[in-house]
């Protein structure tokens, strides 16, 4: 009894789709500022703090300057947010999710702002 084994080849496009993304290409100082601001935001889940809104504009500009793709920026943002949210264990996860979605929108707007 023979077995018919087909080799599975991944095209370059598919590989790029599933290839690991860099953790961050943003500067270390920007990442630290973002971590502090997101930690404060998680403690105040009512809406984006003015400081975070301002920082997201800086983050968006830096990402553009460093040719970070918008989807990579969102991955960086969500990874940081999720790691902080896990450690803080929010009281109201649904409200935190709404705030996160709002912040992702602000991040995208900041990225495309001139």
Residue-wise pLDDT tens digits, 16-69: 555 555 445 899 999 999 999 998 888 877 778 888 999 999 999 999 999 999
Query: pLDDT per residue over 60-96, tens digit each?
Result: 999 999 999 999 999 999 999 989 888 877 677 788 8
What separation in angstroms does the CA of 27 have from each of 32, 71, 88, 90? 9, 17, 24, 28
CA–CA distance, 12 with 53 (Å, rounded to integer): 38
In the chain, alpha helices (H): 12-18, 28-43, 50-65, 70-88, 93-112
- C-beta of residue 107 within 8 angstroms of C-beta of residue 88: no
pLDDT at 3 over 70: no
Provide the pLDDT for residue 24.
54
Q: What is the pTM of this model?
A: 0.72
Q: Which residues contact 6 (CB under 8 A, 6 or more apart)?
A: none
Provide the pLDDT for residue 5.
45
């Amino acid at each position: 009894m023979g077995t018919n084994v087909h080799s599975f080849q991944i095209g370059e496009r598919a590989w790029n789709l599933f290839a690991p993304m860099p953790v961050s290409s943003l500067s270390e100082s920007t990442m630290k500022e973002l971590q502090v601001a997101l930690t404060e935001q998680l403690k105040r889940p009512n809406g984006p703090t003015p400081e975070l809104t301002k920082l997201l504009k800086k983050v968006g500009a830096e990402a553009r300057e460093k040719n970070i793709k918008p989807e990579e920026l969102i991955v960086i943002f969500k990874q940081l947010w999720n790691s902080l949210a896990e450690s803080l264990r929010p009281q109201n996860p649904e409200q935190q999710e709404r705030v996160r979605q709002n912040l992702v929108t602000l991040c995208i707007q900041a990225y495309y702002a001139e």
